[in-house]
Chains A and B, each alone.
Chain A
């Protein structure tokens, strides 16, 4: 006879753990002999209406109270492995009293509390409440709501990113167009720069050439200025020499007149005048001789 683990009223874990299932099977078989004497009434059979185990393929068992409603065991813990009272052998042979109760799922055993108490029920039959199912449903609901909210948030974020990507794409195309235009302008500007560089180099060369010419002209001007100053000096000296020579000539003329009329002068006076004239002419000739070298410039630029 099968038994149902009290901690797993629906027998899911029994299906997952065949060892427990087999042990319960053996234990149930061992207690089958007592089923005739201490079997609870059919109305207290434990069944699982309307639920099928997904693992074993058998019809799930739900404890059923005397009123035919399902009930929940409250003696979990150490008594979890105890067997519930076995069903009547006759009833087991004849099939379940409940339309959803198979024979091999009738819960009975010698250690069941009801069995120990002489088959009399001391617990009010209660309907087992699917707390785990409620918790599961609640959690799933919360998770579903959270996932929905999260999905909505992600959709919103994705939408904003998509909009921004479109904006960036537009900006990128604009920048690309600007870049192409700037590159074209850059090429044009570079050509102008090259042309201007050539013009600048030419202008610089011209400035240097003109500066050099200007400097050379300045040197020439300075040289001419110096030469002019020297010529002025020479001119002044020449004027002095000229004056001296003129006075020399005049003195000679005067001397000739004196010599033509010697009776008008004393003999010593003519001779003295001649000596003076000679000295004057000698100085004039010396000044004339000293005039020529000074007009030659000492240095040329």
Chain B
């Protein structure tokens, strides 16, 4: 009898223990679920503008230097809405400067300043350059890094060229202080002032020269950052009062 009672008690305890895993009734199905929209194609890095041009293309402008008896063209890129960077030799001996955006807008320059430290010049405009600006890298690229050059070679269409950094070297023209970077990107006359971008789309230099071996030379971004942080290194560029042909060994067309 005791065994039977014990067995029944054990069965009851077992049944009660099973209550711990008793299945519960289902909960009501959620009705307030709102899916999260994915990122828009117009957002994020590398996003295209509504007209299909990348930010690097939109920030790159074509510079026209109407000098005293000559006309040259070069390239520049916007730092902000009213400021752009180009080469000093692109705006040298100018009587009138104007920039042309990727979509064909012609914007007159209101002032220009240059520095003797490097082949760098700053142009300001009263009209807006657009809404795409350069994002500068903090450090120079390493040898072997892939680069992209966006510019207007030969004063023609907006063109993108790729290459790699070949290494640091002395300025082959002698117009810059310190070293410059040699790259394998092919550039032409009119590419002077073109922004050199890394794989993240950040500016790592400014094209200013080439040699007969089709190697291009760029002012490194470290020099550019130093110059932009020291406004005293720039002096206003005077308009030309006489005709002087452009230097033949630079890329200004």
Chain A residues in the interface with B (C-beta under 8 A): 8, 12, 132, 135-136, 139-140, 142-143, 146-147, 150, 153-154, 156-157, 160-161, 164, 167-168, 171, 200-201, 203-204, 207-212, 214-216, 218-219, 222-223, 225-226, 230, 297-301
Contact = CB atoms under 8 A, between A and B. Distances in A.
A161 B102 CA distance: 63
Interface of B: 1, 4-5, 8-9, 11-12, 15, 22-26, 29, 51-53, 62, 64, 66-67, 69-73, 96, 98, 100-104, 106, 152, 155-158, 243, 245-246, 253
A79 B207 CA distance: 116
Contact of A212 (B64, B71, B156): B156
Contacts, number: 119
Given A139-B9, A218-B64, A219-B155, 17 more contacts: A132-B4, A136-B5, A136-B8, A142-B12, A153-B22, A157-B23, A160-B25, A201-B52, A203-B51, A207-B53, A207-B104, A212-B152, A212-B158, A219-B71, A297-B69, A299-B245, A300-B71
B51 A167 contact: no
Nearest to B101: A211
* Interface of chain B, main secondary structure: loop
Nearest to B106: A218
A199 to B, nearest CB: 10
B245 A156 contact: no
Given A143-B12, A203-B51, A171 B29 contact: yes
A203 B106 CA distance: 20
Contacts of A209: 157
Contact of A301 (B24, B73, B157, B243): B73
B98 A218 contact: yes
Given A132-B4, A216-B155, A298 B245 contact: yes
Contacts of A157: 23-25
Chain A to chain B: the 10 pairs with minimum beta-carbon distance, closest first: A299-B70, A298-B69, A132-B1, A212-B157, A204-B52, A211-B104, A164-B26, A301-B71, A200-B52, A160-B25
